[in-house]
Amino acid sequence: MKSPAFEYARAASIDEACELLSQHGDSAKVLAGGQSLVPMMAFRLLRPHWLIDISEIAPLQYIALETDVARTGACTRQCTVQCDATLAAQVPLLRQALAFVGHAQIRNRGTIGGSLVQADPSAELPLVAQILQARLVVRAKSGPRTLTAEDFFTGPMTTALAPDECLTEIQWPVWPDRSTGSAFTEVSRRHGDFAMVAAGAQVAVDAAGQCIRAAFGVGGAAPTPVAFPDLAQRLVGTSFNQALLRDVAQQAAAALEPGADTHASAAYRRHLAAVLATRVLQSAYDTARAAR
């Protein structure tokens, strides 16, 4: 199918994009990489009257590394983020997760911001944003505001972004600890498909190998990807024995609200959540210990 007819405007600057959104917000959609928007229009799941193309706005495409935060412009391509070795050293979960996003052709066009605004509960980048407690800067004509990932994702394919707002920057916290490890994994029908269930974790250890900081989360098993900061706190001060890990992962899985579809039952998704959470936590811990 072809999409219905629409008006098209290419914004030359963030100000112009915000001006256009203030004029057409309710009937407009921002076009970034087009990897989700264009198929949805072709299937007529979306019928925006206006497309506001932000893909050529250079000030939305950057990676800026600071001591405690890595900032990425919303229109930075997924492949650019995946290939940046310095960013991968500071926020390793990003590269690990991006390896599971579609295929190289999709990552060549798809943007970091587009994936976050699309807010698919199975998508990898929203899960990383939740685990790391990323902050998202959005802008309207009236000015900017900053949201936590937790506040940004409000439901399946739904965010707190207002119709006249444009996501401009994502701030990824950088853990200062020298001995930090992370891991990301998922189960999908085929490599490159959206995850049935995905899990990611980041762990830091001290010189004795004891956990001093931990974060983990699960995607594809609730209306939004979910992080578990309180459960992760139980791992701090321990050396990650298997019984504790399983218990923490089981509790996380029990707190999820997985749905059922043609790919997997809710019970299977819950089972996967526990298994994958155990695996990524163990793997992140092992990597952190090896980095001592």
Ligand X SMILES: Cc1cc2nc3c(=O)[nH]c(=O)nc-3n(C[C@H](O)[C@H](O)[C@H](O)COP(=O)(O)OP(=O)(O)OC[C@H]3O[C@@H](n4cnc5c(N)ncnc54)[C@H](O)[C@@H]3O)c2cc1C
Q: Which stretch binds ligand X (CB under 6 A): 5-13, 83-91, 123-131, 281-289?
A: 123-131
Whether the CB-CB separation of 131 and 219 falls below 8 Å is answered with: no
Min dist CB 192 to ligand X, Å, is: 6
- Closer residue to ligand X in complex, CB, 188/250: 188
**What part of residues 159-218 is at the interface with ligand X (CB under 6 A)?**
161, 166-167, 192-194
Min dist CB 217 to ligand X, Å, is: 15
124 is a site residue for ligand X (CB under 6 A): yes
- Closer residue to ligand X in complex, CB, 118/182: 118
Min dist CB 256 to ligand X, Å, is: 19
**What part of residues 244-283 is at the interface with ligand X (CB under 6 A)?**
none
Among 18, 36, 129, 132, binds ligand X (CB under 6 A): 36
Min dist CB 110 to ligand X, Å, is: 2
- Closer residue to ligand X in complex, CB, 92/110: 110
- Closer residue to ligand X in complex, CB, 123/227: 123
Min dist CB 255 to ligand X, Å, is: 23
**What part of residues 75-104 is at the interface with ligand X (CB under 6 A)?**
101-102
Among 72, 76, 82, 118, binds ligand X (CB under 6 A): 118
Distance CA 236, CA 245 (A): 12
Distance CA 195, CA 15 (A): 36
Min dist CB 223 to ligand X, Å, is: 16
Residues at the contact surface with ligand X, assessed by CB under 6 A:
29-37, 39, 54, 74, 101-102, 106, 109-111, 113-115, 117-118, 123-125, 161, 166-167, 192-194
